[in-house]
Structure 1
Amino acid sequence: MMRVLALVVLLVGLCGQAFAQDRASVERQFRGWLEQQIWPRARAAGVARATFDAAFSGVKLNWDLPDLVPPGSKPRTPQRQRQAEFGSPGKYFNRGSVDAATSVGKQMGRSHAAALAAAERRTGVPGRIILAIWGRESGYGRVKIPHNVFEVLGTKGFMSTRAAYFTDELIAALRIAQAGHAPAGAMKSSWAGALGQPQFMPSSFLDYAADGDGDGHADIWRSEADTIASIARYLQRHGWIAGRDWGFEVSVPASVSCTLEGPDQGRKIRDWVAMGITRISGRAFPDHESRAEGFLLMPAGRSGPAFIVTPNFYVLKDYNMSDLYALFVGHVGDRIAYGVGDFTARWGNVGGLNRSDVAAMQRALEAMGHDVGGADGLAGYKTRRSIGRWQEATGQSATCFPEAVMKAALAR
C-alpha cells in the first residue's frame, strides 16, 4: 500500500511538473507572438516602441479567463449556463439591482446635472438614460474594474475562441495608450476587455469616447464628465431619436398574438391601439408617439410584462445585445426621472432552463423551417415568436416562451 501511495504521489508530481513546463512553453510562444505579430501591427498604427513596452511590462497570460484555447489544444465544450438573459427574465430585475441603480442614479443626477444637461443638448439623449446605462455598466464608477486590459486582450488575442476579434481590440487599446487618454496603470478592464465606467471595448472607445470636461482627453476611467459625454455620443451615433421615448408598458389582449413581436414587425402605435393594445397607466399615448412607429416587445411571452417600444429601445440594445438589458436601462431611467414604480404586470414563473435545453428546442424549430435567429440557447424575440407560431400551428394557445415540457414535444 505504501508503495502504491508513493507511486501516486510521484505521478501527481510528474504531471504537475509537465503542466508547469507546458505553460512555460506557451508563455514563451506568447512573447514571440507579441514581438513578431503584434508589434508590427502596433507600429503601423502609430504606436511608439516605448508605449508598447510599457503596456506589456510584466504582463503574462491569464489562464483564468474563459474560452481559452492554448496552442495545440481543442476548444472546450461550453459549460451549461443559467444566466438571467436566458433563464427567468424576472431575475434580471431583482430588487437590489433596480433599487441601487435608481437611488444612486438620483444622487448622481444631482451631482452631475450640468454635465448631463450639456450632453443632452449636444446629442438629444436624456440624462436619465445616460445615468441608467452608467449605473448598469459600472455602478456609477463604484464597481471595481480589476484587470489589466493588455493582459486580458493579449491572452484572448493569443489563445481564445475569438482570437482575431480580440487581437484587433488589443491594437485599439495600444492606440488609446499612445494617445495618452489614461495614465499608466489606469487602463483597467473587465475580463472581456471592456474599459472604464461606460465599459467600452477599445474599438468603441476610439469611435465614441468624448472629452466632457475640456481637458483634451477622454478619460472614461476617472472623469465622470467624460463618461457621461461618451455614453451620450455612443447612443447618438447609433441613431437615438431626440424627443422620442424608449417605450411604454402595455396590456395585450388575447386577440393580439404574441407572435407579432419584433423590430421587423413594426406599425404605427395608433394601429396597435386600434388592435386593442392599451397603456397600463390608462393614459393615451402622446400624439407624436401615436403617429410614429412602435414595436411589440414581450420578453417573457405571455408570462410577463408587455411593451410597445420605439426605435430608441433598439438603440439601447446596441449597447448590449439583450432585450432585458435595454428594458432595464429604460425602466431605471424612468424611475430616476419620474419616480415610477415596478412594472404593473408580474413576471411569471418561467425560465430556469439550461442554455443547452433552449438550443435543442431551437434546432427542432429550425428543422421545421422557423427562423429562430440561431441555435444559441438564448430566447430572443425570433425564438419567442417561433415558439408561438409552432404552438398556434399545433392548436395550442401561444405563450411565446420556452418551457421544459416543450423540449420533448418539439423532438417528436
Structure 2
Amino acid sequence: MPFLRALCLTLLFATSGTVTVAQDKARIEQQFQGWLEQTIWPRARAKGVSRATFDAAFDGVRLNWKLPDLVPPGSKPRTPKTQRQAEFGAPAKYFNRGSLDGATSVGRQMMKRHASALQQTEKRTGVPGRIILGIWGRESGYGRVAIKHDAFEVLGTKGFMSTRADYFTQELIAALQIAQAGHVRPRGMKSSWAGALGQPQFMPSNFLGYAADGNGDGRADIWESEADTIASIGHYLARHGWQKGRDWGFEVRVPAAVSCAFEGPDQGRRISDWAAMGITRVSGKPFPAHELKGQGYLLMPAGRHGPAFIVTPNFYVLKDYNMSDLYALFVGHVGDRIQYGSGDFSAGWGNVGHLYRSDIAKMQRALEKQGHDVGGADGLPGFKTRRSIGRWQEAQGQNPTCFPTTTLVKAIR
C-alpha cells in the first residue's frame, strides 16, 4: 500500500503541475491580448494603421511558446546555452559542398530565367546580377525554402516577451504598416522564426526602407514575386553604398612577411600598395587596372588556417545585409561561380572551429585585460579578435596565425 500511495501522490503532483503551467499560460495569453490592445493598437493607429487592418493582422493570433529567447512576464532571462550560429561556426562547414554546388547550379538556372529582371535591376542600381543571386540563394534558396511562420504571431510573441522586446515591438509596428499599405494580406505575411520576411528575408523595417516594385504592379511582394525580390535586394545594396564597377574582392596569397594582423576594414590601403607588399592573386592574374587605386582590405577569416582575400568596400556592403565575414564571402563566391564558372578557393580551410564560444570569450577577456581591442567578448572570432591574437603572438616572438585554437586558449591568460 505505501507504494500505491506514493504512486498516487506522484500522479497527483504531476497532474497539478500540468494544470498550473496551463493556467499560467492562459493568464499570460490574456496579458498578451491586453498588451496588443492597450500598447500596440495606439502606436499602430499613430502610424496610420486602420482598425480593420489591425484586427485582420491579429485575427486568431496567439503566443508561440516554441520560439527561442522568450521571457514570460514575471520571469528572469535564462542564461543562454552555447550557440553554434552557422555564420560563425567552422568556415569549412559554411562552405560545404552541398551548399556551394546547390546555390551555384540553381543560381545559373535563375540567371537565365530572370535575365530581364536582373539586367534591369543592375542598370538601375549598379549591383551585378550575380551578387543579387548570391544573396537570394543564401537567404531562401531562390524562394524554394519554405517560409512558414506567421509574421504577426512571431513578432507579437517576441515583442511581448523576449530578450529584445523593444526591438521586436518596433518591427511589429512596421509589419502593420506593410499590411496597411496593401503589399500583402496579413495572413500571407510569412516570416522566419525571427520575423524576417519573404524571399530576401528583410526585417519589416528594412522592407519599409528598401523593398521595391520590380514588376510594375504597384506593390513590393517579396513573398511571391521574383522580380520584386530581385529589385529589393539590388535596391538595398545600392542604398547601402555599393560602388558600381568595383568587384567584391579577390583570393590572394599573403607572403609570410605580411602579418595577418594587418586585417580589418580600418587598416585599408590602395590595392596597388598591397601588391607592392608582395600580395598576389591566386589566379596568377594581376589585379584589374581600375581597382589598383581603390581601397582594399586584407581579409583572413580563418587566419593562416584558410584562404586569404583582398576585399573592396563592396564586401562590407554585403556585410550590411548580414554581419558575418563568412556570409559576405559566400555570397561573393557563389556569384562568381554562377557567372564565371569559378571553382573552389585555392587554399583549403584548416581544421578549426571546434572551440565553444565560452572558451573563445574567456580568451577574449584575457586579451582585453592586456589592452587589446577584440571587439567584445562575445565568443565569436571576428577580425578584431583574429588580429589581436596575431599581435599577441608577435609580442611572444611567435609567427602569427590569427585564429583561436585550443592551444592558444590555454596560453592566453
Q: Same fold (TM over 0.5)?
A: yes
Number of the residue aligned with 2:17: 15
Cα offset, 1:186, TM superposition: 1.4
**Alpha-carbon distance in 2 for matches of 1:170, 1:84:** 26
Could you tell me which residue of structure 2 aligns to residue 310 of structure 1?
Answer: 312
Distance (Å, rounded) in 2 between the aligned partners of 1:113 and 1:84? 31
Is the Cα contact below 8 Å between 1:116 and 1:228 reproduced in 2?
Answer: yes
Partner Cα distance (1:290, 1:79) in 2 = 46
Shift of 1:185: 2.0
Task: Choose 192-201 or 389-398, whichever is displaced more.
Answer: 389-398
- Which residue in the other structure is 2:80 paired with? 78
Aligned counterpart in structure 2 of residue 398 of structure 1, from 364, 382, 400: 400
Q: Note if 1:386 corresponds to 2:363.
A: no
Q: How does 1:98-247 map onto structure 2 within 5 Å?
A: 98-247=100-249
Decide whether the 8 Å contact of 2:88 with 2:326 is kept in 1.
no
Q: 1:111 is aligned with what amino acid?
A: R
Contact 1:169 1:201 in 2 (8 A): yes
In the TM superposition, residue 266 of structure 1 has moved relative to its aligned partner by: 0.2
1:87 and 1:353 in contact (8 A); partners too = no
- Quick one: which amino acid aligns to residue 391 of structure 1? Q
Query: For residues 147 and 31 of structure 2, what CA distance do their matches in structure 1 show?
Result: 28
Deviation readout 1:101-138 (Å, 9 max, x if unpaired)? 00000000100000000000000000000011000000
TM (norm. structure 1) is 0.99
Q: 2:253, 2:280 within 8 Å by CA — same for their partners in 1? A: yes
The letter for the 2-side match of 1:172 is A
**Which of 51, 54, 60 is equivalent to 1:52?**
54
Q: Where does residue 61 of structure 1 map in the other structure?
A: 63
Task: Please say if 1:96 is aligned against 2:91.
Answer: no
- Aligned AA (2:23): Q
CA distance in 1, matches of 2:163, 2:357: 19
> What residue identity is the alignment partner of 1:75?
P
SS in structure 2 of the partner of residue 345 of structure 1 = coil
* Amino acid across the alignment from 1:348: G
Aligned partner of 1:271 in structure 2 is 273
Q: Which runs of 5+ in 1 are unaligned?
A: none
Contact 1:82 1:352 in 2 (8 A): no
Cα distance in 2 for partners of 1:127, 1:208 equals: 17
Which of 295, 298, 305 is equivalent to 1:296?
298
C-alpha contact 2:88 2:324 (8 A) present in aligned 1: no
Residue among 364, 367, 375 paired with 2:366: 364
Q: Which amino acid aligns with 1:290?
A: L
Per-residue deviation at 1:408?
Answer: 2.1
Task: Kindly provide the amino acid, as one letter, of the partner of residue 235 in structure 1.
Answer: L
What's the CA shift for 1:405? 1.8
The 3-state SS of whatever aligns with 1:195 is: coil
What are the superposed Cα offsets for residues 385-404 of structure 1, whole Å, 9 maximum, x if unpaired? 01111111112211101111
Match of 1:87 among 83, 86, 89: 89
Tell me, in whole angstroms, the C-alpha distance in 2 between the residues paired with 1:87 and 1:211.
Answer: 35
In structure 2, C-alpha distance between the alignment counterparts of 1:407 and 1:80, rounded to whole Å: 17
Amino acid at match of 2:112: R
- Secondary structure of 2:359's aligned partner: helix
CA offset at residue 73 of structure 1?
0.5
CA–CA separation in structure 1 for the residues paired with 2:35 and 2:202: 25
2:96 & 2:397 partners in 1: Cα distance?
A: 35
Q: CA deviation at 1:84?
A: 3.6
Return the offset for 1:86: 3.1
The superposition leaves residues 222-268 of structure 1 with CA deviations (integer Å, 9 ceiling, x where unpaired) of: 00000000000000000000000000000001000000000000000
RMSD of aligned C-alpha atoms? Answer: 0.8
SS at match of 1:363: helix
Q: TM-score, normalised by structure 2?
A: 0.98
- Post-superposition shift, 1:90? 1.2
Aligned partners of 1:87 and 1:354 also within 8 Å: no
Q: Which amino acid aligns with 2:349?
A: W
List alignment gaps of at least 5 residues for structure 2: none
Alpha carbons 1:86, 1:377 under 8 Å: kept: no
Match of 1:31 among 20, 33, 58: 33
Give, in whole Å, the separation in 2 of the partners of 1:189 and 1:19: 28
Deviation of 1:212 after TM superposition, in Å, equals 0.3
Native 8 Å contact 2:125 2:235 kept in 1: yes
- Partner deviation per Cα, 1:319-359 (whole Å, 9 max, x = no partner): 00000000000000000000000000010001121111111
Q: Which amino acid aligns with 1:124?
A: G
Tell whether the 8 Å contact from 1:101 to 1:132 is kept in structure 2 after alignment. yes
Distance (Å, rounded) in 1 between the aligned partners of 2:390 and 2:49: 53
